[in-house]
């Protein structure tokens, strides 16, 4: 079923196609933890990984993920700047920033770059899955977990 037909039928793309998610995180432990957490909630999703910005952009070009979970501090890029590049390349892709930085300036910059949500790492297990569900169109938005509004 084409994307437009799914929308007319009231079905999200994720209900009719396999979801591809990209986890961009330079710390091996955190990247694996995010991957495993997402895989447990979305067992049929293809979850791919990048440990730096160059690899993330390469995977966005080749795999076109529907969702990107992005760290801010990468060895070769700033995740917020990378978010803007991903959104330019793949406007329909939702980017959720996961960062240790809690400052409002980071949140504002992330949303200006096109991030769907900004979640601090200390809240990731409480807020990530609800944000992913909203990003993929599986739950109504506006429940307060990482919304950009």
Structural domain boundaries of the chain? 14-135
Yes or no: say if 129 and 114 are a contact pair by the CB < 8 Å rule.
no
pTM for the structure as a whole: 0.82
For the stretch 48-85, pLDDT in tens is 999 999 999 999 999 999 999 999 999 999 999 999 99
Digit-coded pLDDT (tens) for 2-52: 444 344 434 444 444 689 999 999 999 999 999 999 999 999 999 999 999
**Cα–Cα distance, 3 to 47 (Å, whole number):** 21
Residue 78 CA to residue 149 CA, distance in Å, equals: 22
pLDDT tens digits along 96-123: 999 999 999 999 999 999 999 999 999 9
Task: Give the N- to C-terminal CA distance of the chain in Å, as an integer.
Answer: 31
Which CATH number is correct for 14-135, 3.30.70.100, 3.40.50.2300, 1.20.1070.10, 2.60.120.380? 3.40.50.2300
- Taking the C-alpha atoms of residue 131 and residue 55, their distance in angstroms, rounded to an integer, is 24
């Amino acid at each position: 079923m084409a994307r437009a037909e799914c929308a007319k039928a009231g079905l999200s793309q994720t209900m009719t196609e396999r979801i591809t998610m990209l986890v961009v995180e330079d710390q091996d432990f955190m990247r694996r933890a995010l991957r495993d957490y997402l895989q447990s909630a979305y067992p049929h999703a293809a979850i791919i990984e990048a440990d730096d910005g160059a690899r993330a952009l390469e995977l966005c070009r080749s795999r076109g993920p529907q969702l990107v979970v992005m760290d801010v501090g990468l060895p070769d890029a700033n995740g917020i700047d990378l978010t803007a590049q991903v959104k330019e390349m793949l406007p329909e892709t939702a980017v959720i920033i996961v960062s240790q930085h809690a400052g409002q300036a980071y949140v504002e910059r992330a949303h200006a770059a096109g991030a769907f949500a900004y979640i601090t790492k200390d809240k990731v297990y409480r807020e990530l899955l609800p944000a992913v569900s909203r990003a993929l169109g599986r739950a109504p938005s506006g429940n307060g977990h990482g919304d950009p509004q």
